[in-house]
Chain A
Amino acid sequence: MDDLILKKIVKFITPCIQLFGIYVIMYGHITPGGGFSGGTIIAASLILQHITFGKNNVHFIFRKEMALKLIGFSLILYSTIKGYSFFGSQFHLPHPPIGVPGNLFSGGFILPLNILIGVTVSSTFYVIFTLFSNE
């Protein structure tokens, strides 16, 4: 779209939306939120950027071919981490410390799993949007 006001406002507002999405993902184990809602917020900012500036201005890591690799990688990593957690709790393997509840780096495996879910959800939603938009 070729509109000066829209471009200026989107340029200003996109980092704020993305920062808020990252916050929702990172603090998913302390405050309400998590990978699904944070990933949706980030996907919304990417879609806004796509509509306003065209698809060539979205970062290459979210293009279709890269995004599939990204989603597959994060799903495989998720299954590896969670499988290790399941078997590790059974066979008393070492696991990350639980920490003080309320700190950012606490809760063992919950924070990395939240990040992986956020990556998966944001890439998936953006890829589905790019498939339906005919530009």
Chain B
Amino acid sequence: MKNLICIIITVLIIGVLLVGVSELPEFGNPNNPEHNALSKGYIENAMKDTGAKNIVSAVILDYRALDTFIEATVLFSGAIAVMTVLKERDK
């Protein structure tokens, strides 16, 4: 009985996700929402705004620096979690 409920829930979730995926815009279509003014603005203005020649650095450390901060925090909390699990027992 439990297994049957699990299977039904899984099939339902898969169906909902597949319906969502089927609504995605076509790959490579120039009218897609990801080809808006933002990417063009980054490519044109990154060097003038930030002074960095590497546009990846300009995005991750200037425009989206908060995201990088949380990434580093995730690394830190991962280290803390591993330290908690693998703590040496006191002798």
Chain A contact residues, CB within 8 Å of chain B: 28-35, 64, 68, 71-72, 75, 78-79, 82, 85-86, 98-102, 106-110, 113-114, 117, 120-121, 124, 127-128, 131-132
- Selected contact of A120 from candidates B52, B66, B76, B82, CB within 8 Å: B76
| Cβ-defined contact, B60 with A34, below 8 A | yes
- Selected contact of A78 from candidates B50, B58, B60, B72, CB within 8 Å: B72
| Cβ-defined contact, A79 with B69, below 8 A | yes
| Cβ-defined contact, A98 with B65, below 8 A | no
**Interface: B54 (CB within 8 A):** yes
| Cβ-defined contact, A110 with B72, below 8 A | no
Residues of A near B47 (CB, < 8 A) are: 101
| Cβ-defined contact, B54 with A30, below 8 A | yes
CB distance from A59 to the nearest CB of B (A): 18
**Interface: B14 (CB within 8 A):** no
- Selected contact of B57 from candidates A34, A64, A99, A132, CB within 8 Å: A34
- C-alpha spacing A82/B76, complex, angstroms: 18
Assuming A29-B52, A82-B65, A101-B47, what are 9 further A-B pairs, CB within 8 angstroms?
A: A29-B50, A30-B54, A86-B66, A98-B51, A107-B50, A107-B57, A107-B58, A113-B68, A124-B75
Residues of A near B51 (CB, < 8 A) are: 29, 98-101, 106-108, 110
| Cβ-defined contact, B57 with A109, below 8 A | no
Chain B positions 72-91 with a Cβ under 8 Å from a chain A Cβ: 72-73, 75-76, 78-79, 82-83, 86
Residues of A near B50 (CB, < 8 A) are: 29, 98, 107-108, 110
